Structure 1
Amino acid sequence: MESRTPRLLLNPAAGLTGLLCAILLLPGCSSLFFYPDRATYITPDRLNLAYEDIYLDTPDGEALHGWWLPAEAPGSEALGTVYFLHGNAQNISSHILNVSWLPDEGYNVFTIDYRGYGQSTGDPDLEGALHDVETGLRWLAEKSEVKNRPLYILGQSLGGGLGIALASEWTQRQEQPRLDGVILDGTFSGFRRIAREKLGEFWLTWPLQIPLSWTIPDDYEGVDHIPRISPVPVMVIHSVRDGIIPFHHGQALFEAAREPKEFLQTDTPHGATFVIPGYQRDVLRFMNAER
């Protein structure tokens, strides 16, 4: 875009990334992080979940689509709300199984598609995605079912990277409602760091891994922002068998985080944490302890 309204929390970086990537005849460095599609894989009703389609306008003119899944708590209040930020491929309809178990445990769930994903308009890029996750959180902050109840961010992979930047600014500016916990599953320690690693895996991009990684702004590196989430509790989840985001990224995030913090070492493929009921219980224990 030629111009973009600044986010209320996060100051936009210069447009150096797209320019340098174009000079280097690559399709754009954002392609390292974003692999959207517009197919519908499954909808919540197929999982016997009540849901509402949500449509939000961003400050810079995009329209986002999301799902609100109310807690299955008839006759009583929800235990809290989980704001789920999904990974970099496909869209919310392919990621919904990661949180479909939470309404039955008494938690509302809200999830959005970043621009260019699913029914959301636009084309994905890092700055835009940061706009999008903030837009979703600001919508949640005004929802009556969320006020005066615990609020958590759950980010997987790319969603964790976006969630760290959002949570750190939200906390530092003492925005309301305050976050009660941040859960990061299979998240990389920094956009520039993981880009350099991935570029180094292929012979064609290996010679360019350092110069190309420098085209990615380092404003939102997870290891730099995660300490600023404190005093909000942080849970870092990472698998020793993660073949996409190596285990050392989770270790680096945990080491950089300040107390209160918790590390959950798992043993599943990337993005498959919550197929294991035991790992679900670990997350519920973390959230219940912070209420």
Structure 2
Amino acid sequence: MGIPSLYLNQRDIIYCANDPVGSRTQIDLPSDYGMSNYEQVKIVTKDKLNLDAYLIKKEEIGLYTNTKSRIGTTILFLHGNAGNMGHRLPIARILYNLFDCNILMLSYRGYGRSEGSPSEKGLKMDVDAAMEFLKQNPTTKNTKIVVYGQSIGGAVAIDTAYRYKEIDAMIVENTFTSLPDVVECMFPYVWFIRYFIKDSWASKNKIGSISVPMLFLSGRKDSLVPPKHMLELVTIARNNGGESKVTFKEFENGNHNDTCTQFGYFESIQSWWENLGL
């Protein structure tokens, strides 16, 4: 693919909403994975797009009083750049079983059955709408909120924790310092194309300002996003007063898309979660 084509088609390359085939129409349900207490909801963005989402509810939510410490926790699940939210339901099921928490799984604009086309500006508006939904919904409005993001979803999670004081903690997996940095790594001989990337997702400029507890999960054999990106983000966070807030876990054999299958992955999340009392 030539440089002009890369420039013109960059968002289709970055946001692979049609990969694998059927990702826009074939979306598994939480009930397919044993999570029957859920709602399929439509979330409307500021620019009037309808987003598809699943709100998976903790079973005993109605027994608790109206305080954050008693009512529990909600995970805002922010998926990677390919597929749809249904592809992440196996991960959601494990988190749900471990923590008995609510999970809001969001299909970004242009993904699954959500309307629109993805972009950095658009995905930020999607998160704005999701956060408003969490604030207003009776099930989630008084819960703690943990953002969990994989790959580009990690960049979305970092931006969300940077912009919203309502976020109580953050988990990111195999994410990058910025999109231009990734492009330069992928195309070192035409490094200058980094200056023509429309969406920056400059996490390295935001991570130092985030004060909530952060868990970084990094696959050492990531062949898409070099692991040095995660290490740089961790270093920036620690150097900006976040030493006690940062937990960094590496998985020796983890590649970009299979780190969540590595031994100790969910145990690391569980230990971190329990130490925080979420």
Q: What range describes the TM-score normalised by the shorter chain of this pair?
A: 0.7 to 0.9
Counterpart CA distance in 1 for 2:209 and 2:110 is: 30
Counterpart CA distance in 2 for 1:159 and 1:29 is: 17
Please show how residues 34-183 of structure 1 align to structure 2 within 5 Å. 34-37=15-18, 38-50=24-36, 51-73=38-60, 77=64, 79-105=72-98, 106-171=100-165, 178-183=166-171
Return closer, same or farther for 1:225/1:32 CA change in 2, 3 Å cut-off: farther
In structure 1, the residue matched to 2:216 is: 236
Tell me, yes or no, if the aligned pair for 1:224 and 1:256 is still in contact at 8 Å.
Answer: no
Return closer, same or farther for 1:144/1:244 CA change in 2, 3 Å cut-off: same
Greater Cα shift, 142-151 or 112-121: 142-151
Alignment size in residue pairs: 255
Tell me, yes or no, if the aligned pair for 1:72 and 1:104 is still in contact at 8 Å.
Answer: no
Counterpart CA distance in 2 for 1:153 and 1:169 is: 12
Task: Give how far 1:122 is off.
Answer: 1.1
Counterpart CA distance in 2 for 1:73 and 1:150 is: 16
In structure 2, the residue matched to 1:214 is: 195
Question: Aligned with 1:243: secondary structure?
Answer: coil
Deviations 1:25-84 (A, max 9, x none): 443322342000203252211111122111011111211001111124477556311100
In structure 2, the residue matched to 1:275 is: 261
Task: Give how far 1:252 is off.
Answer: 0.8
Return closer, same or farther for 1:219/1:277 CA change in 2, 3 Å cut-off: closer
Counterpart CA distance in 2 for 1:55 and 1:127 is: 20
* TM-score (norm. length: structure 2): 0.84
The letter of the residue matching 2:273 is M
Question: Aligned with 1:99: secondary structure?
Answer: helix
Tell me, yes or no, if the aligned pair for 2:218 and 2:230 is still in contact at 8 Å.
Answer: yes
Question: Aligned with 2:147: secondary structure?
Answer: strand
Tell me, yes or no, if the aligned pair for 2:81 and 2:153 is still in contact at 8 Å.
Answer: yes
Tell me, yes or no, if the aligned pair for 1:98 and 1:275 is still in contact at 8 Å.
Answer: no
Greater Cα shift, 159-168 or 29-38: 29-38
Unpaired stretches in structure 2, ≥5 consecutive residues: 19-23, 65-70
Question: Aligned with 1:24: secondary structure?
Answer: helix
Return closer, same or farther for 1:142/1:273 CA change in 2, 3 Å cut-off: farther
Query: Percent of counterpart pairs with the same letter?
Result: 25
Q: Is 1:245 equivalent to 2:245 in the alignment?
A: no
Q: RMSD across aligned C-alpha pairs, in angstroms?
A: 2.1
Task: Give how far 1:191 is off.
Answer: 1.6
Task: Give how far 1:277 is off.
Answer: 6.3
Q: Is 1:262 equivalent to 2:240 in the alignment?
A: no
The letter of the residue matching 2:197 is I
